[in-house]
């Protein structure tokens, strides 16, 4: 394909379009804006990303007293705008990565042409689908023990799930909380033997076998317990202050799966140590390509990677 002089066509082509507004997206916007790339960022269906579903973030560097999640994301947005990034509410509905410049269509029917695209659409935690679960989301219901476990120090909590993630979260919480219930719908754990042994040897973890959650219980102050249904038909309540979901995440990559290489679970595959995807000029950052860490700080770091990779890509194109 013949190289395109993007600098000469900037009236029609955006140097960079960023899809997603979590820590990865806003960090990418900060870096690309400072590099003079005049990025356009689409906030997506959840402005600020999944982080805004929690309350105080205590493990983000630079905030010894913690920081409100919405305040943190608003600050990132303001910082990106201060360097010249354009932030647009709405979401991208269609993309064409089959030729360059790339074509993107948003939910208002607007068409954008882009020299580079950074995908930072995140991954959504899987929930049980209970109304009470949504009611107490952020008020005791969480999908990230590493993020929110500290708030339940010395308290009783429950973890839903029986795989490696659930076991890892239960063990993590066992070092913080007084009691950890694992709610497992089967009569076995799906986790590796090493993780199973670790859970079963931890004194303050109790596994509730063959149980499903019927309802998350709570009041105006937040979660107070959970109502469980055993396979034998018995319904019973447990008292907990925190209710953690560990039944997996779903990367928000469906829009791009036609064009980009993904793993069997839908996470976008990037070259090792970079944000470079299988399509030159398209980069991935944050949880949409990270099935392991899923932290605000790692998402922000990968947003930096994507921005630097995009800047380098354009610089190399201009020398051709």
Omega of the bond prior to 101 within 30 degrees of 0, cis? yes
Q: Are 242 and 151 in contact (CB under 8 A)?
A: yes
Using CA atoms, how far apart are residues 96 and 256, in angstroms rounded to an integer?
Answer: 9
Q: Which of 148, 156, 241, 287 is catalytic?
A: 148
Using CA atoms, how far apart are residues 127 and 13, in angstroms rounded to an integer?
Answer: 39
Catalytic annotation on 309?
A: no
Neighbours of 278 (CB within 10 A): 15
Q: Which of 144, 167, 177, 211 is catalytic?
A: 144
DSSP 50-86: GGGGSSEE-SSTT-TT-EEHHHHHHHHHHHHHHTT-E
Q: Are 262 and 119 in contact (CB under 8 A)?
A: no
The residue with tokens 């009611």 is 135
Q: Are 231 and 243 in contact (CB under 8 A)?
A: no
Catalytic annotation on 16?
A: no
E-strand ranges in the chain read 14-19, 40-42, 56-57, 67-68, 86-88, 92-96, 102-106, 111-119, 123-125, 141-142, 156-160, 179-183, 205-208, 211-219, 222-230, 235-239, 242-245, 249-251, 282-284
Cα-atom radius of gyration of the chain, to the nearest Å? 22
Q: Which of 147, 167, 177, 211 is catalytic?
A: 147
Using CA atoms, how far apart are residues 247 and 171, in angstroms rounded to an integer?
Answer: 15
Catalytic annotation on 219?
A: no
Structure tokens at 13: 């082509």
Return the sign of the alpha-carbon dihedral for residues 46, 312, 266, 196.
negative
Using CA atoms, how far apart are residues 170 and 55, in angstroms rounded to an integer?
Answer: 21
- Catalytic annotation, residues: 144, 147-148
């Amino acid at each position: 394909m013949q190289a395109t002089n993007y600098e000469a066509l900037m009236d029609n082509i955006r140097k960079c379009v960023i899809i997603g507004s979590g820590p990865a997206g806003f960090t990418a916007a900060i870096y690309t804006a400072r590099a003079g790339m005049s990025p356009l960022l689409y906030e997506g269906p959840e402005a600020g990303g999944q982080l805004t579903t929690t309350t105080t973030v205590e493990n983000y560097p630079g905030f010894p007293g913690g920081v409100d999640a919405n305040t943190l994301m608003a600050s990132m947005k303001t910082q990106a705008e201060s360097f010249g990034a354009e932030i647009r509410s709405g979401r991208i509905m269609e993309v064409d990565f089959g030729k360059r410049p790339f074509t993107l269509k948003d939910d208002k029917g607007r068409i954008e042409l882009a020299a580079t695209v950074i995908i930072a659409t995140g991954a959504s935690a899987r929930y049980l689908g209970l109304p009470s679960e949504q009611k107490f989301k952020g008020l005791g219901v969480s999908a990230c023990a590493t993020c929110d476990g500290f708030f339940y120090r010395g308290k009783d909590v429950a973890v839903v799930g029986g795989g490696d993630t659930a076991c890892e979260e239960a063990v993590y919480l066992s070092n913080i909380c007084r009691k950890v219930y694992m709610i497992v719908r089967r009569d076995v754990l799906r986790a590796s033997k090493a993780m199973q042994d670790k859970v079963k040897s931890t004194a303050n973890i109790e596994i509730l076998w063959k149980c499903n959650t019927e309802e998350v219980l709570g009041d105006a102050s937040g979660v107070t317990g959970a109502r469980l249904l055993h396979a034998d038909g018995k319904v019973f309540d447990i008292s907990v202050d925190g209710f953690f979901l560990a039944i997996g995440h779903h990367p928000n990559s469906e829009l791009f799966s036609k064009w980009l290489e993904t793993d069997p679970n839908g996470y976008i595959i990037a070259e090792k140590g970079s944000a470079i995807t299988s399509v030159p000029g398209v980069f991935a950052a944050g949880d949409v390509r990270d099935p392991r860490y899923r932290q605000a700080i790692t998402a922000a770091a990968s947003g930096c990677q994507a921005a630097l990779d995009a800047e380098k890509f354009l610089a190399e194109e201009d020398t051709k």
